Structure 1
Amino acid sequence: MTLTIKHHLDEVGLADGRLFVSGTWRQAKAGATWAHRHPATGETVGTVAVADTEDVDDAVRAARRAFDDGPWPSMRAGERMRIVRRCGDLLREHADELRSLQALDNGVPLSFGTVYAGSVDIAADAFEHHAGWIDKAGGQTLPPFQGGDHMAMTLREPIGVVAAILPWNAPFLLFAQKIAPALAAGCTVVIKPSEHATFCVLRMVELLAEAGVPDGVVNLVSGPGEPTGDALIHHPGVDKISFTGSRATGQRIVSASAEGFTRVSLELGGKSPAVVFPDADAGLAGMTAMGMVTLGLSGQACVAHTRALVHRDVYDEFVGAAEMIAGSVTYGDPFDPEVLSGPLVTEAQLEKVLGYVEQGCAAGARLVTGGERVDGELAAGNYVTPAVFADVDNRMSIAREEIFGPVLSVVPFDDEDEAVAMANDTEYGLGAGVFTRDAQRALRVSKRLRCGMVGVNGFQVEPHVPFGGYKQSGLGREGGLAAFESYTELKSVLMPLTDEMM
C-alpha cells in the first residue's frame, strides 16, 4: 500500500496560505498560487499565495511605515521586552501544533521535532534570550582624546527594515534566529519563508501578532525565489537582508545588495569535517557523525558532519558504527513516532544525491552501505537509504561538495597535521567536530580549524551561541550578542561641554 498523509490535513486544520501585510491576511493581488507537494508522498498538501513585485512592495512599505512612524523602534525597553518574551511563550504553548504543521510542510518527522536543535523549544528560547538584550543595547562614553572639554559617546540604533529569507529545513530555529534579534533591536521585518515550509511559518507569524507585535512590524510574503525573493532582495526600501540557503543564492543577494549597499547576513552551508583521533571513542564518533547525516533531516542540514577524517588506528571501528546507524534509520509517515528521518525535499534533490553516489563509486570510493532509492510503499516519496563511503580521497567530489543528503564520506589520516590540513582544505568553513580524550589536543585542534563552530566529542546548537562560518559559508553570525548587534547601526555623538571650540 502506498503511503498517504492526506488524512492528517483535517487533523491539523491546514488552510491555504495567504500573505500578511500591515496586520491583515490577504491573497496575492494577481491571485497566483503555488501547489505544495509533500516530499514523502508526492501528494498536493495545499496552496501557497505567490507574492509578486506589487505584493512585496506593499509589505516593504508597510514595514517602512511601521519603522519610520510606528511605536516599535521607540517603544520603552520594558514594554518591548514583554512582547518579545510573549512571542516565545506562545510558540512554546503551540509546540505540538507547529510540529504537525512542519510535518505537513517538509516531511520532517514529529520525532525529530522533540530534539532540541529541531524543536520549537529552541525557537522559544531564542526569543527569550534576545528579549534580554533589549534593555542592554547601550553604547559607550569615551574620554576626550585631544584638547577641549567635550564628551564622545556611541549609540546603538535599529538598522531599519529587514528582509528575512528562510530555508525549508529548520523553520523553527531560523525563524527565531532572524526574527527575535531583529524585533529586539527595534527593527521591522518582511519574512519570506521557503515555499517548501510555509505553513508552520504562517502560524508563527499569527502567534507573534497575538503576542502584541504592532501591525506592520512583522509582514510575510510567500512564494518561490522568482518572483518573490527576487523582488524582495532588490527592493530599495530594505535596509538589511538576512538569508540562509544555498551559496548560489547568497551570491545573487550580495550582488543585489551592492545597488544600495544594503547590509547582509548570510549562512550558506558547509562541508563540515569530524576529526577523529586514535584516543577517541570511535564508536561514539561514528554514531554521532552518521546520526547528524541521517536522522531527522536526512543529511539536509548545513552543519552536518558529512566528511569524517578518521585516524587509521580506529578507522574500521568508526566505519562499523556509522554503518550500524545507517541500517537503523526508519522512514515513513512523519506523524508516526517510530519514524526517525524524513525524505529529501524535492525530486530534483533526490536525483542530485543519487548522482553523487554514482560519482563516489566511479571515483573509486568504497560504498559500504546505502545510496539507493527506497521503493515499496515509499516509492512515491523522495527517499534515499543512508550511504557510507569508505576509502575516500579528500580530493573527491563527495568529500568536497555539499551534497545535502544522507551521504557520509570517511577519509583516513595518519597524524594531526595531516588531519588539520585536510579539514581546512575546503571552500567552506561552517562547523567541525573534534573527537579525542586529550583536552589539550581538543583545544589545540579547535583553534587551528578554519571554521565558525567546533564541537568537541559532540555538537549542539544553542540560541545564545553565535552560529555562522568562515570563507564561503557566509557572512555574519546568528545567535547571541553578535546577532543582536548585527540588526543595529552604531552612531557616534560628540558634544562640547563648554562654548569653546572642540
Structure 2
Amino acid sequence: MTFTVQPHRESLGLKTGQLYIGGQWGPAADGATWTHRHPGTGEEIGEFASGGAADVDAAVAAARAAFDEGRWATERAGVRVALLHRYAQLLRDHADELRALQALDNSVPISFGAIYATSVGAAADVFDHHAGWVDKIGGQTLPPYQGGDHLAMTFREPIGVVSAILPWNAPFLLFAQKVAPALAAGCTIVLKPSEYCTFSVLRMVELLVEAGLPEGVLNVVTGQGDPVGEAMITHPGVDKVSFTGSRAVGKHIVEASAATLKRVSLELGGKSPALVFGDAGNVGLAAATVVGAVTMGLSGQACVANTRALVHRDVYDEFIGAAQGMAAAVTYGDPFDAGVISAPLINEKQLDRVLGYIEKGKEEGRLVTGGERLGGDLAAGNFVAPTIFADVDNSATIAQEEIFGPVLAVVPFSDEDEAIALANDTEYGLGAGVFTSDVQRAFRVSRKLRAGTVGVNGFQIEPHLPFGGFKQSGLGREGGRSAIEAYTEEKSVFLPLTDEMM
C-alpha cells in the first residue's frame, strides 16, 4: 500500500509560508505562491510565497538599513554572543519538530536526520562555535616599519549585506554554516531557501526571531532561483554572495557578481574519491561506509559523498561483494518510519537526470546491482535503487560527472601512485576518503590529494574545521576561523603619535 505523509502534515500544523522582510511576515508583492509536492508521494504539502525582484529589493533595503543605521554591526559582543547561544538552545529544544518538517520538505528520513552531520544538533553546535568568535574578531597592532612615533593597526569589520542561497539537501547545517558566521561578524542577511526545502528553514527563522534577532538583520525571500536568486546575486546593495549548489550556477554567480565586484563564497559539489588500499583493516567496513554515503539518507544527493570508489585489485572482489550487501540493506518509503533509511530523489527532473546517467553507465561499466526506478508501493515517488557499477574507467562519464543520486562507480588500481593520480584526475576537489591500516600511508596520501576535506577510515564534518573545495568545487571555506574571515573585511589604520611630519 502506498504510504502518505498527510497525517504528519496535519499534526505539525504546517503554516502557509510567507516572506520575512524588515521584521514582518507577509506575502509576495505580486501575491504569487509555490505549491510544494512531497518527493516520496507526490502529495501537495503546502504553499509558500514565491517572491520576485521587488521582494528582493525590499529585503535588501531592510538589510541595508539594519547594517548602515542599526546597531547589529556595532552591537556589544556580549549581546551577540548571548543571542547566538540562546538560538542554539532553541534549535536543540525543537529538534524533533524540525526533523519532521524536513521529512515533509525533502523526505530525508527521521532516522537519518539524527545522524550528526545532518542533524539539528550539528547546526546548534555551529552557532555555539561562532558565538565564541564574536569577542575574538580583532586585528593587530604592528611596530613602525619605517621608524618614527606612530601606530600601525588593522581591524576586522563586517563585510555588510550578505545574500545567502541554500540548497534543499541539508537545510539545518547549511543554514547554520552561512547564517552563524555572518551574524557573529555583524553582517545583515537576505536569505533564500530552496523551493524544495522551505518549511523547515522558515521554522528555523521563526526560532531566530524568538531568540531576539533585531528587525532587518535577517530577511527571507522564498521562491525560485529565477527571479529570486538572480536578483540576490546582481543587486547593487549586496556586498557578498554565499551559495551552495551546482557548479553551473556557481559559475553564473561569478559572472553576474563581477559588475559590482561582490565578495563570493561558493561550494559547488564534487566527484569525491574513496581510496581503498589492500591493507585496509576492514574492507567490508570500508565498502559499507562508501556505499552508505552514496545510498543512505540523501540517496547520493550530497556533494561530498564518495561517489568514486578506487579499490586496490587485491581486495577488489571482496569490496564489490560487501558493497552489494550494503546496497541490498537500504530501505525506502515513509520518512517517518524508523525502519526507513534513505530518501527519494528531490523531483522528477533529477529523477530523469539520474536515470539517464545510469543508462550511460550501462555502456561504460559492469552493472553490479540496481539501475532502475523503484515501483510497487514506491511508484508515486522519485525512488531509484542503489546502483553500483564495477570495472569503470576513470575517464568514463559516470566517473567524472556529478550525478547526485545513488550511483557508485568502482575503479580498480594497482599501486599507491596510480590511486593518487586517479583520485586527482577530476575537475572537482571537495572531499576524499582514504582506507588503510598504515598511518604513514594515510598521511602521505592525504597530503597528495587535491581535496578540501580528507577522511581517513571515516568522515565527519566539524563546526570548527573549514569546509570547501579545491579546483571547480568552489571558492572559499565555511566553518571555523575561515568563515569569520569570509564575512569580514580587513582595514589598516595609521595613527601618528606626534605632530612631527614623517
Task: Please give the range of the TM-score, normalised by the shorter of the 2 chains.
Answer: over 0.9
1:186-209: CA deviation from partner (whole Å, max 9, x where unpaired):
000111000000000000001001
Q: Which amino acid aligns with 2:448?
A: R
Where in structure 2 are the equivalents of 1:336-355 lying within 5 Å? Answer: 336-355=337-356
Q: In the aligned structure 1, how far is the partner of 2:322 from the partner of 2:139?
A: 51
5+ residue gaps, structure 2, are none
> Shift of residue 2 of structure 1?
2.2
CA distance in 1, matches of 2:348, 2:27: 28
Give the CA deviation at 1:351.
1.0
Secondary structure of 1:175's counterpart equals helix
Aligned partner letter, 1:284: L
> Would you say 1:13 and 2:18 are equivalent positions?
no
Partner in structure 1 of residue 404 of structure 2: 404
CA distance in 2, matches of 1:462, 1:306: 21
Residue by residue, what CA displacement relative to the aligned partner does 1:456-484 show, whole Å, maximum 9, x if unpaired? 00100111110000000000000101011
> Is this contact kept in 2: 1:56–1:231, CA < 8 A?
yes
Measured after TM superposition, the shift of residue 494 of structure 1 is: 0.9
Distance 1:357 1:50 in 2: 34
> How is 1:147-186 mapped onto 2 (pairs within 5 angstroms)?
147-186=147-186
Partner of 2:369: 369
Whole-angstrom CA distance in 2 between matches of 1:87 and 1:500: 51
The one-character-per-residue Cα deviations of 1:154-200 (angstroms, maximum 9, x if unpaired) are: 00000000111000000000000000000000000111000000000
1:488 aligns with 2:488: yes
The answer for the alignment partner of 1:325 in structure 2 is: 326
- The 5 Å alignment of 1:78-97 reads 78-97=78-97
SS of equivalent to 2:178: helix
Distance in structure 2 (CA, Å) of the matches to 1:185 and 1:433: 33
What SS does the corresponding residue of 2:337 show, helix, strand or coil? coil
What is residue 378 of structure 2 aligned with on the other side?
A: 378
Q: How does 1:187-226 map to 2 (within 5 A)?
A: 187-226=187-226
Per-residue deviation, 1:498? 1.2
Q: In structure 2, what is the equivalent of residue 418 of structure 1? A: 418
Q: Distance in 2 between matches of 1:131 and 1:340?
A: 33
Within a 5 Å distance, the mapping from 1:75-474 to structure 2 comes to: 75-280=75-280, 281-363=282-364, 365-474=365-474
After TM superposition, give the deviation of residue 12 of structure 1 in Å.
Answer: 1.2
Greater Cα offset, 146-155 or 171-180: 146-155
Q: SS where residue 226 of structure 1 aligns? A: helix
What secondary structure is seen at the aligned counterpart in 2 of 1:73? helix
Query: Contact 1:81–1:131 (CA<8 Å) still a contact in 2?
Result: yes
The CA distance in 2 between the partners of 1:324 and 1:297, in whole Å, is: 19
CA distance in structure 2 between the aligned counterparts of 1:203 and 1:231, rounded to whole angstroms: 24
Number of matched pairs? 501
Q: 1:148–1:501: 8 Å Cα contact kept in structure 2?
A: no
Q: How much does 1:3 deviate?
A: 2.2
Cα distance in 1 for partners of 2:49, 2:79 equals 33
What is the identity percentage for the equivalent residue pairs of Structure 1 and Structure 2? 69
User: Residues 148 and 500 of structure 1 are in contact (CA less than 8 Å); yes or no, is this contact kept in structure 2?
Assistant: no
TM-score, normalised relative to structure 1: 0.99
Query: SS of the residue aligned with 1:152?
Result: strand
Q: Deviations over 1:113-139 (max 9, x none)?
A: 110011000000000000000000010
Question: By how many angstroms is 1:147 displaced?
Answer: 2.7
Which SS does the other structure have where 2:259 is aligned? coil
* Equivalent pair of 1:354/1:372 in contact (CA under 8 Å): yes
The CA deviation at 1:501 is 1.8
Deviations 1:26-77 (A, max 9, x none): 0001001111111001111111211111111000000000001111111100
Q: CA deviation at 1:490?
A: 0.2
Please say if 1:2 is aligned against 2:2: yes
What amino acid maps onto 1:303 in structure 2? Answer: V
